[in-house]
Amino acid sequence: MSDTVKYLLDEKDMPTHWYNIMADLPEPMAPPLHPGTGQPIGPDDLAPLFPMELIKQEMSTEREIEIPEEVRDIFRQWRPTPLYRARRLEKALDTPAKIYYKYEGVSPAGSHKPNTAIPQAYYNKAEGITKLATETGAGQWGSSLAFAGALFGMEIDVYMVKVSFGQKPYRKALMESYGARCVASPSNETNAGRAILADHPDSNGSLGIAISEAVEIAATRDDTKYALGSVLNHVLMHQTIVGQECMKQMDMAGDYPDVIVGCTGGGSNFGGIAFPYLGEKLRGGKDTKFIAVEPAACPTLTRGQFAYDFGDTGHLTPLVKMHTLGSTFIPPGFHSGGLRYHGMAPQVSHVQDLGLIESKAYHQTTCFEAGVKFARAEGILPAPEANHAVRGAIDEALRCKEEGKSETILFNLCGHGHFDMQAYMDYFGGNLQDLDYDEGELAMALAGLPSVAAE
Ligand SMILES: *Cc1c(COP(=O)(O)O)cnc(C)c1O
């Protein structure tokens, strides 16, 4: 047996196309609806927010869409990313399982998010847009779009969820280093923000609120569009470069995953690593198991309803069918800001509803414990969000140990935690609490789901 721990692809083996799961779904997805009419929306309804090329991708059912050469040129700075075999972690766990991880923390912004930030900025720029407005949770998406804005000479406005704005000042500094503007949300700059502040002056903010603010700015300005770092079909498709690279690298390793694990906030890094494999499975390939791991304090896939809901708190977006905790649900302010979203990618929701993937929820301290164990074995300190995937992968490896199985586990190490040291300090200081959401608030948020005639 070889002791290889790192599988690197040549630049020339970087995927040239994104993979679109829509082509292989056994049942079509429920269409997004116009909140006013209850009718399926068309491309024109989305035109105030997105450039036409991204709208086409959002609605496409073609299996492959070419990655523009200019985008690939930029990707070559850090892609293909490495795939590692976690031999030291396997030893530490004394498991017969083989654990592999794809490391997306090597991007300039430190996560998988530039995989979609770069093409989104590219398509907007190509259609004459000079400014993008967006939201960010922990700041990973804001810094990724800020990076893209710097490369394409675009103005970037980022509405950052207030609790993370306070927890992660260095993420704001990174966005500003790239030339972006970063504002704590809810802010006084928008009607949506002012409305929340009027009712809850001390609001911690949420991704749902920050999305409303960014959408409002984009919808009311001709030169400005909106960019979303997760959830949407085209975003998940942009992330499939990750899973496609894994396929080639797992081939190099002479292995094939029995289990694929990813953490889920909006579903993009999970979809990115899982969908190319799920597509292969749906076309008659091997029977891989897919596990989405989410925070117990914001348990969208494990506790939410699969129903039409708004993507934002201010109800400015179309209605999409997804697993949701209700658009007015404000999760407690735990440390994985990137996972504090009330909804889930409609594609991830759909494949869970079809029984094609499983989901699991963990509290944050057990995830940090897993992340620290991982760091002590492998040297890389994961982002708090990624710790959920690490926890999920370790538990699969421990299950293999119990069952005496040498299964192959692959997980997405979607970002490093170098800007999240306060969270680790809180963990080591014993100050990290396993926050629970308020059952009453969840019930109220779910009771407020919009009623949709088409259902
Ligand atoms: C944004 C982010 C997430 C959550 O978003 P997904 O769309 O679910 O991937 C998870 N991990 C990291 C490192 C992130 O930056």
Q: Relative to the CA of 269, which ligand 1 atom is closest?
A: 9
Q: Relative to the CA of 383, which ligand 1 atom is closest?
A: 13
Three-state SS for 50? Answer: coil
384-409 core/surface letters (b: 16 or more CB in 10 A; e: else): bbbbbbbbbbbbbbeebbeeeeebbb
pTM score over 0.75 = yes
Residue 208 placed within a domain: no
Residue 132 has phi, psi (to 5 degrees) of: -125, 140
Residue to mutate (ligand 1; options 81, 103, 113; most atoms within 8 A of CB): 113
Residue 206 placed within a domain: no
| Cβ neighbours around 205 below 10 Å, total | 30
State the residue range of the domain holding 245.
4-14+68-110+236-447
Residue 63 placed within a domain: no
Three-state SS for 210? Answer: helix
DSSP 283-327: TT----EEEEEEETTS-HHHHSEEEEEESSTTS-SPEEEEEES-T
Distance of alpha carbon 412 from its chain centroid, rounded? 11
Distance 37 CA to ligand 1 centre (A): 33
Q: Which protein residue's CA is at the shortest distance from atom 15 of ligand 1?
A: 140
Residue 355 placed within a domain: yes
| Cβ neighbours around 148 below 10 Å, total | 30
Quick one: tokens of 408?
């192959």
Residue 359 placed within a domain: yes
Residue 351 placed within a domain: yes
CATH number of the CATH domain containing 361: 3.40.50.1100
Angle of helix 52-59 relative to helix 114-126, nearest 10 degrees, comes to 130
pLDDT tens, N- to C-terminus, the chain (455 residues): 456 799 999 999 999 999 999 999 999 999 999 988 999 999 999 999 999 999 999 999 999 999 999 999 999 999 999 999 999 999 999 999 999 999 999 999 999 999 999 999 999 999 999 999 999 999 999 999 999 999 999 999 999 999 999 988 999 999 999 999 999 999 999 999 999 999 999 999 999 999 999 999 999 999 999 999 999 999 999 999 999 999 999 999 999 999 999 999 999 999 999 999 999 999 999 999 999 999 999 999 999 999 999 999 999 999 999 999 999 998 887 777 788 899 999 999 999 999 999 999 999 999 999 999 999 999 999 999 999 999 999 999 999 999 999 999 999 999 999 999 999 999 999 999 998 899 999 999 999 999 886 55
Q: Which residue has the tokens 């170098």?
A: 418
Distance 344 CA to ligand 1 centre (A): 12
**How many structural domains are present in the chain?**
1
Omega within 30 of 0 (cis) for the link into 299:
no
Q: Do the beta carbons of residue 268 and residue 112 sit within 8 Å?
A: yes
Residue 455 placed within a domain: no
Residue to mutate (ligand 1; options 112, 144, 239; most atoms within 8 A of CB): 112
Q: Which protein residue's CA is at the shortest distance from atom 1 of ligand 1?
A: 338
Q: Which protein residue's CA is at the shortest distance from atom 5 of ligand 1?
A: 265
Ligand 1 environment, Cβ below 6 A: 111, 113, 140-141, 230, 263-270, 338-339, 383, 385-386, 414-415
Residue 284 placed within a domain: yes
For CA atoms 94, 95, 100, 104, the dihedral sign is negative
Residue to mutate (ligand 1; options 273, 414, 416; most atoms within 8 A of CB): 414
User: How many residues are there in the chain?
Assistant: 455
